[in-house]
Structure 1
Amino acid sequence: MGKSLISKPIILLLLIAVFCLTLIQAQETHVHEDGTVHTEEDHAAEESVSKSSSGHSHGSQSCDIEPMLNYNMSFRIGSVFIIMVTSAIGIFAPIILYRISPPKNGSIRDWTLTAGKFFGTGVIIATAFIHMLPEALERFGSECLSDGWHSYHAFGGLFCMLASFALQIIELAAISNLDAIARKNTEAAAAAAAAAASVHTLNMSAEESADGKLGEKNQIQHEVNHHEHDHTGINEDGHVHSAGFLENQQSLRNIGTFILELGIVMHSIIIGITLGTADNESFNTLFIALIFHQFFEGIALGTRVNDLNCKSWKKPILMGLLFVCMTPIGIGIGIGVRSTVNPRSSILAQAILDSLSAGILLYNAYVSLMSIEINHNVGFRRSSLARKIFCFMCMYLGAGLMSVIGVWA
């Protein structure tokens, strides 16, 4: 069930991206056939690039393919391994710290992992608001894109909204599927209990008194009710049993964690491509900023991987390696296509992916991380005031640091 649920958002996002890329390619072909020359737009774009080269480097692309002079290949290859190590430390440190032995409440490791968890929540929120959505809006406003993309001013918000709607549908489908499974278990348990009761009734001795028969039936009915309680997880008085409700909650938390990694992975590929295609002037600043960026995102994802409560190391290691490899893969792609990529198509693709990633992270941040883990978490509400203040300060610190890094990356 988990793989099918995760594959649906990936397919949906890819279809949207392919549609938009096809549309912009058709528009660019039409312009070329009319003989329109974009000299003024290209000149304006080059001026904006020269002005922004000292600032945010994600938008530092011209509208035409230009050869890069003095491209330091060895430094970029070295950056692949440096970012890979930094990302690995960020994501595997909280995983190893948690899995060595589960921390006791109030211990130093418990406070450390709690700090990392809420720090990561702030990082994820700031990543969406500071690093993704503004970048998408900026790229959709680029003069390198055709007039069709300038006819509507909110394409970035539109794709962000579509991604959040898609996640809501997926989450609803997951809940409905879990409810159906619980209902089938309840019906199967009731049928088994009824069959056992009928067999027991046939074997009853004829000499049993009416009171005995009545007491036996009451006992059987009690067993049926108790069996139903074990499978549904909800008793008549509203008591929640861990075999039902809590298992469903864990399944939903797992789905949310997988989708969260999807959004982070998409963003990691984008920033890797940006670093691989950056010129020497902006590379150093962007590279240093991305080291901290990947380290903090690794902490954010690693603390959420711990919530999966996996019995083995296999799934946490695979999820960690996926995150570690994505930015280096993006750097490799950037190095390979730096002299052949169409800047217009590249700007559009990054704008769409940034918008979709922002929608994924915002939905997870507010629905899963803040609402469910904080406001609707009985354990958090009953915790001490000092612990609550500590958690919120860690979350605000994570958001603040990622916002500061947004000056350079």
Structure 2
Amino acid sequence: MQSTKSSCLLALLFLALINLAQAQQLTAVVCNSLPTETYNLPLRIGSIFLILVTSGLGVFTPIVLFRVLPYKAGGFREHFLNIGKFFGTGVISGTAFIHMLPEAFGHFSSPCLSAGWKTYPGYAGVFCMVASFGLQLIELCAISNMEAMAKRRALAAQTEEEQAGIDERTDTKTVSAIKKEDASPHEHHHDGFSTDGHIHSAGFLENDEKMMRNMGTFILELGILVHSIIIGITVGTTGNHGFITLLIALVFHQFFEGVALGTRINELEFKGWIKPTIMGAFFLIITPFGMAIGVGVHSAFPANSSSFILAQAILDSLSAGILLYSAFISLMSLEINQNVAFRRSTTMNKVISFGSMYAGAALMSVLGTWI
């Protein structure tokens, strides 16, 4: 009886080992196999141009409105851009929380990755934190450098003004040497230049908030560009099954994210068209560029290979960190908590702003079902 039980246990163990070996072999085959389903190339090429147009409409609509429509307090332009700004903040937050971070955790738990990547479950969070901390240091260094440069320019301007004042007093004393009382007004004039120097410093301090907003916009575009090219590659390598649904979701995603970026580019207050057009053009082409890469490599580079999945996991994590930092520090904190004008605005304006932000986050949450 005991011998029979032992034989049964050994047989079960043997079968389990065989099944495990077969499962590992099957996983290896699946993770390194090339796609076998048909690939509709004309549809992919057409979708690239569709996303190109959608991205352009999203990012350039607020840029054009800002420069074409005359400003009027309480007018259409002001309301549209304000709603777009806060709606975009919600879109950015939803993209990070619903799209990037869960995707990163999912990729890091893929069976196609080596065992070393599975020993620690928090790699996605680690890379996300690294991106956020890195951005904070970069932003601090950039702002400190800009502050030092502005102070040097202010000091140079003050020195030139003081030197001009000294030269003027010297000439006056030469002409009016007999008037002893001339010394007092000139000393007072010198003090005026010192005061003017302080005005330069004070003016710079008043621009700190604007400087941080500008830096935040550049960081925001960096995060959007990184995750947009990831999305483009993913869509380009996706098979025919579910592609149309994914494409429709991506159309909405690109349009509203473009509106978010376009309204932030307006905050930079560029005088002409060249710089905002260049910044908008980067967003315009980056996702179609990623899709073109995906279309080009789909037949030679399996999307379920370990190297491809690992690259997606790391880039998704870094993108999530960039977007989360931008959403909470550069957007919400500066535009709401630290914005005196917003705090003193009407209750209705606050309701519309918060409602727009929550609507943007809700939209991206819904789109998370497909993309």
Question: Is the 2:236–2:294 contact (alpha carbons within 8 Å) kept by the matching residues of 1?
Answer: yes
- Does residue 336 of the first structure (1) align with residue 296 of the second (2)? yes
Question: Is the 2:69–2:77 contact (alpha carbons within 8 Å) kept by the matching residues of 1?
Answer: no
The equivalent of 2:217 in structure 1 is 257
Alignment partner of 2:156 out of 188, 192, 203: 188
The equivalent of 2:285 in structure 1 is 325
1:335-389 alpha-carbon deviations (Å, 9 max, x no partner): 1111221521111101111111111111111111000111101111111011011
Matches within 5 A, 1:5-404: 39-41=22-24, 43=26, 62-203=30-171, 204=173, 205-210=176-181, 212-226=182-196, 228-232=197-201, 234=202, 241=203, 244-342=204-302, 343-404=305-366
- Percent identity, aligned pairs only, is 51
Question: Is the 1:174–1:252 contact (alpha carbons within 8 Å) kept by the matching residues of 2?
Answer: no
Q: TM-score, normalised by structure 2?
A: 0.88
Q: What is the CA–CA distance in structure 1 between the aligned matches of 2:71 and 2:166, rounded to whole Å? A: 49
Instruction: Quickly say closer, same or farther: Cα 1:190–1:66, change in 2 above 3 A.
Output: closer
Q: What is the CA–CA distance in structure 2 between the aligned matches of 1:42 and 1:402, rounded to whole Å? A: 38
Q: What is the CA–CA distance in structure 2 between the aligned matches of 1:132 and 1:42, rounded to whole Å? A: 30
Which consecutive segments of 4 or more residues in structure 1 shift more than 6 A?
Answer: none
1:316-347 alpha-carbon deviations (Å, 9 max, x no partner): 11122211211111111111111221521111
1:144-202 alpha-carbon deviations (Å, 9 max, x no partner): 10011112111111111111111111111112112212321233234224423433443
Question: Is the 1:178–1:248 contact (alpha carbons within 8 Å) kept by the matching residues of 2?
Answer: no
Instruction: Quickly say closer, same or farther: Cα 1:202–1:83, change in 2 above 3 A.
Output: closer
Q: TM-score, normalised by structure 1?
A: 0.80
Instruction: Quickly say closer, same or farther: Cα 1:139–1:179, change in 2 above 3 A.
Output: same
AA matched with 1:274: T
- Bigger relative contact order, structure 1 or 2 (CA pairs below 8 A, ≥6 apart): 2
Instruction: Quickly say closer, same or farther: Cα 1:187–1:321, change in 2 above 3 A.
Output: closer
Q: What is the CA–CA distance in structure 2 between the aligned matches of 1:163 and 1:92, rounded to whole Å? A: 28
- List alignment gaps of at least 5 residues for structure 1: 1-36, 47-61, 235-240
1:246: how far off?
4.5
Question: Is the 2:253–2:364 contact (alpha carbons within 8 Å) kept by the matching residues of 1?
Answer: yes
Question: Is the 2:212–2:330 contact (alpha carbons within 8 Å) kept by the matching residues of 1?
Answer: no
Q: What is the CA–CA distance in structure 2 between the aligned matches of 1:182 and 1:339, rounded to whole Å? A: 53
AA matched with 2:200: H
Question: Is the 2:213–2:334 contact (alpha carbons within 8 Å) kept by the matching residues of 1?
Answer: no
| Secondary structure of residue in 1 paired with 2:32 | coil
* RMSD of aligned residue pairs (Cα, Å): 2.0
Instruction: Quickly say closer, same or farther: Cα 1:276–1:190, change in 2 above 3 A.
Output: closer
Aligned length: 347
Question: Is the 1:185–1:231 contact (alpha carbons within 8 Å) kept by the matching residues of 2?
Answer: no
Q: What is the CA–CA distance in structure 1 between the aligned matches of 2:177 and 2:98, rounded to whole Å? A: 79
| Secondary structure of residue in 2 paired with 1:281 | coil
1:85-130 alpha-carbon deviations (Å, 9 max, x no partner): 1111111111111110343221122111111110000000000111
AA matched with 1:218: H
| Secondary structure of residue in 2 paired with 1:213 | helix
1:400: how far off?
0.3
Question: Is the 2:56–2:258 contact (alpha carbons within 8 Å) kept by the matching residues of 1?
Answer: yes
1:44: how far off?
6.0
The equivalent of 1:20 in structure 2 is none
Instruction: Quickly say closer, same or farther: Cα 1:135–1:88, change in 2 above 3 A.
Output: same
The equivalent of 2:6 in structure 1 is none
Question: Is the 1:123–1:395 contact (alpha carbons within 8 Å) kept by the matching residues of 2?
Answer: yes
Q: What is the CA–CA distance in structure 2 between the aligned matches of 1:351 and 1:63, rounded to whole Å? A: 15
Q: What is the CA–CA distance in structure 2 between the aligned matches of 1:38 and 1:148, rounded to whole Å? A: 19
